[in-house]
Amino acid sequence: MTRLLRRGAPALLVLLMLTAACQSSGSSASGKPTVRVGSTNFTEQTILAELYAQALEANGYRIERRLNLGPREVVEPALESNQIDLYPEYLATLLTFVGKGSGGANAPAASSDPAATAATLQSVLQPKGITSLDYAPAVDNEGFAVTKATADKYHLTKLSDLAPVASQMVLGGPPECPDRPFCQLGLRDTYGLNFKEFKPLDTGGPLTVTALEGNQIDVGVLFTSDAVIAARNFVLLADDKHLQLADNVVPVVRADFVSKAPADFKTTLNAVSAKLTTEDLTAMNKAVGVDRKEPREVAGAWLRDKGLVK
């Protein structure tokens, strides 16, 4: 999913602000520790962060929300350096990100098997002082969509169908896409696709949707759980060569925080993950992205509906 690199000064500024603003301690009236919950910079992440945050709040934890911090290049280091305690992630995408430093044939690899990917991820996170909790059935991969008119014109149903025409097309998506193994880099290496141009837009958001509808781009990077695909009658091209892997939703937490927290910290988060399906995630994304509801409101309604909070 990938979820995705602003380099240089903006990321540094966010980290400096985090250092000043996020260092906190203390506990709630119940004696449970304060949890600093972060997220990366797109709507689904805010929804997921709210799910985990509100479930913990209902169990007596005080929450400091550090949402929309930026791409993974900002948020994962913030977790490592004790500036946040928890944020929602995706198995294969995070494993690819944290494992890239290994290099060569021994680099840890994600797969389409969520259990195997989760086990490998845990082993890679451990030296960083991070642990992943139970992953959800919900999966969100990076997807590539075209308008119905484009699909009809070029007879497109799957990504490999782009091979004869990609050189005439503009790909649009998050600024990080050209360097990401599940985005433009993966399209080149797995499918042999070389686009005429890449247009940096946003991370599966309104800029990409508007550009796709307005024919400013031909192929847009959207998340597969995004309800706007059906709402705008876009065609999501099938990943017939399996570029995307097991990107199940998973909360990642500082290991030292887990070791000191009460037992209900893990059980509360795992209970949320256990009930979260892809269909649920798509519906919540629709409620926020299409119906214009607030992420906090949508997350709270889902938690109540599932009996996780009162």
For position 1, what pLDDT does the model report?
41
Of 11-25, 45-59, 120-134, 236-250, the poorest mean pLDDT is in: 11-25
Mean pLDDT value across residues 113-140: 96
For position 5, what pLDDT does the model report?
35
Supply the mean pLDDT for the chain.
89
Q: Are 266 and 258 in contact (CB under 8 A)?
A: yes
Percent of the chain with pLDDT over 90: 80
Helix axes of 9-21 and 72-80: crossing angle, nearest 10 degrees: 30
pTM above 0.85, yes or no: no
User: In the chain, where are the structural domains located?
Assistant: 9-139+246-305, 142-236
For position 3, what pLDDT does the model report?
44
Mean pLDDT value across residues 279-297: 94
Mean pLDDT value across residues 85-104: 85
Residue 203's pLDDT band, with cuts at 50, 70 and 90, is confident
Distances in whole angstroms, Cα of residue 38 to Cα of each of 30, 100, 139, 232: 22, 23, 20, 30
**Domain pair 9-139+246-305 / 142-236, same fold:** yes
Per-residue pLDDT for 102 more than 90? no
Termini Cα distance of the chain: 31
Check: CATH 3.40.190.10 for 9-139+246-305? yes
Architecture of domain 142-236: 3-Layer(aba) Sandwich (3.40)
Distances in whole angstroms, Cα of residue 236 to Cα of each of 220, 229, 259, 278: 9, 7, 42, 16
Q: Are 150 and 234 in contact (CB under 8 A)?
A: no
